[in-house]
Amino acid sequence: MSLSELIGNTRIKATLASYLRNERIPSSLIFSGCDPYHQLLFAVNFAKSIHCLKKNHDGCDHCRHCLAIDKNMFPDVQVLAPEGQFYRKSQMDELIETSSRRPLQGDKKVFILKDAQCLNDMAANSFLKTLEEPLATNVFILLAGNLNLILPTIQSRCQILKFLPLSKNEIRLELLQKGVDPEKSRLLAFFAADGLESVAEVDWQELEGKRSAMLCILDRLLRQSEVEDILLDLYDRSRYRESFLVYFREMVNLISMLLRDIMILMVDGSSTALINLDYKEKLMELAALTNMDKVFFLIRKMEYLLRDIQRNLNARVLVLEFINSYAPVTAIPGQEPFPLQG
Ligand SMILES: [Zn+2]
């Protein structure tokens, strides 16, 4: 991939391109933003643009230098990561030593430091002198998830580029670029909570399993069939607040997307603008069973419940209230039977 082919953050891409074009590359940069994978892609491709043998101010992906950088085997581009919780002193000593030497193959040495927030005071202070007296041949790129955790003395010596999170469409395009199948890219992009890194880690089969389980739950909720089991399962899970929250957040997310598709189908049965396009037939069936009011009621109920639990209110009590208001439930073990409500 070349710098110009990178997806998203076009302003940053333009800034980096202008550094290259004007041959004014800052000796130290911070790439800050919530998506470390995306920032690393930018940093590595910037390094390729610096070293590419075609000298077009961009990487070509095919020359000896570009290929070696992609394999992390180019001596003048180093990607570092903390060993353990923080960067060790020995790592910093080695970095300072290496950066004091001349580049071996290119005109510059590029050092990419992942998780730069893991430079503790000691590591940062020993590194500071290197940043204060920069050699024209060095480029340091610090990748930081949280800029606030970088010492101000370091920040003040770096050009800071703040990355924006990718939109769902940009994530989809990036997945396509990585060779992920178009249908999977579309769905994964919808379920990406924190940008590309989380997508890269999503297990497709796991997502598939969850999606079909939620379709089954929704089917029962809308048909009002064996709803007690679902509600009792929720009540049971609410015993452990944290794991319940993770489960329920995902449940609300998946069910809302299924309900959104059902609403679209109610308006236009031929629509292809569905998130879960592969479930269209089943969703059509459900759309015929319900109406807009019921769909809104269900979405609102679930979202309110999630919001209240996130506000730290007692999950167990809230789930009980939800159950009580939602469906005629016979009894929860150990609890008095609930009054029937329609
Ligand atoms: Zn090249």
Partners of 32 in beta bridges: 144, 162
Provide the residue-wise pLDDT of the chain in tens; the chain has 342 residues: 888 889 999 999 999 999 999 999 999 999 999 888 889 999 999 999 999 999 989 999 999 999 999 999 999 999 999 998 899 989 999 999 999 999 999 899 999 999 999 998 888 888 888 998 889 999 999 999 889 889 899 999 999 999 998 888 888 888 888 788 888 788 778 776 555 555 665 667 778 888 999 999 999 888 888 888 888 888 888 888 888 888 888 888 889 889 989 989 998 888 878 889 889 999 999 999 888 888 888 888 888 888 888 887 788 888 887 777 765 444 444 554 443 333
Q: What separation in Å is there between the alpha carbon of 262 and the centre of ligand 1?
A: 49
Question: Is 117 within 8 Å of 146 (Cβ atoms)?
Answer: yes
The total of other beta-carbon atoms located within 10 Å of residue 244's CB is: 20
Residue 181 maps to a domain: no
Q: What separation in Å is there between the alpha carbon of 69 and the centre of ligand 1?
A: 9
Q: What separation in Å is there between the alpha carbon of 1 and the centre of ligand 1?
A: 10
Q: What separation in Å is there between the alpha carbon of 58 and the centre of ligand 1?
A: 8
Q: What separation in Å is there between the alpha carbon of 44 and the centre of ligand 1?
A: 12
Q: What separation in Å is there between the alpha carbon of 198 and the centre of ligand 1?
A: 29
234 and 147, same domain (yes or no): no
268 and 149, same domain (yes or no): no
Q: What separation in Å is there between the alpha carbon of 74 and the centre of ligand 1?
A: 12
Residue 185 maps to a domain: no
224 and 110, same domain (yes or no): no
Q: What separation in Å is there between the alpha carbon of 256 and the centre of ligand 1?
A: 46
The identity of residue 126, as a single letter, is S
143 and 37, same domain (yes or no): yes
* Total domains present in the chain: 2
Q: What separation in Å is there between the alpha carbon of 139 and the centre of ligand 1?
A: 18
Which of 165, 188, 222 terminates a domain? The answer is 165
- Count CA atoms within 13 Å of residue 294 on its CB side: 15
Residue 334 maps to a domain: no
Question: Is 197 within 8 Å of 35 (Cβ atoms)?
Answer: yes
213 and 84, same domain (yes or no): no
Please state the pTM of the whole predicted model.
0.69
pLDDT for the residue numbered 331 = 43
Q: What separation in Å is there between the alpha carbon of 62 and the centre of ligand 1?
A: 5
11 and 110, same domain (yes or no): yes
Q: In this structure, what CATH number is given to the domain that contains residue 116?
A: 3.40.50.300
- What is the tally of helices (H) and strands (E) in the chain? 15, 5
| Angle between the N-to-C axes of helices 292-310 and 315-326, in degrees from 0 to 180, rounded to the nearest 10 | 170
Q: Which domain holds residue 150?
A: 3-165
**Distance (Å, rounded) from C-alpha 339 to C-alpha 19?**
70
What is the H or E stretch that residue 243 is in? helix 241-267
Q: What separation in Å is there between the alpha carbon of 52 and the centre of ligand 1?
A: 4
Question: Is 118 within 8 Å of 7 (Cβ atoms)?
Answer: no
Residue linked to tokens 């994964």? 188
Residue 272 maps to a domain: yes
Q: What separation in Å is there between the alpha carbon of 64 and the centre of ligand 1?
A: 7
Q: What separation in Å is there between the alpha carbon of 9 and the centre of ligand 1?
A: 22
Residue 340 maps to a domain: no
Partners of 109 in beta bridges: 138
112 and 245, same domain (yes or no): no
Residue linked to tokens 């990487």? 59
The answer for residues whose C-beta is within 8 angstroms of residue 47's C-beta and 6 or more apart is 69, 77, 110, 112, 139, 141
Partners of 160 in beta bridges: 30
157 and 296, same domain (yes or no): no
120 and 49, same domain (yes or no): yes
- Count CA atoms within 13 Å of residue 74 on its CB side: 28
Quick one: tokens of 24? 């004014």
Rg (Cα) of the chain, in Å, rounded?
A: 26
Q: What separation in Å is there between the alpha carbon of 23 and the centre of ligand 1?
A: 17
147 and 53, same domain (yes or no): yes
Cα of first residue to Cα of last residue in the chain, in angstroms, is 58
Q: What separation in Å is there between the alpha carbon of 68 and the centre of ligand 1?
A: 10
Residue 75 maps to a domain: yes
Q: What separation in Å is there between the alpha carbon of 8 and the centre of ligand 1?
A: 22
**Distance (Å, rounded) from C-alpha 131 to C-alpha 156?**
10
**Distance (Å, rounded) from C-alpha 280 to C-alpha 124?**
55
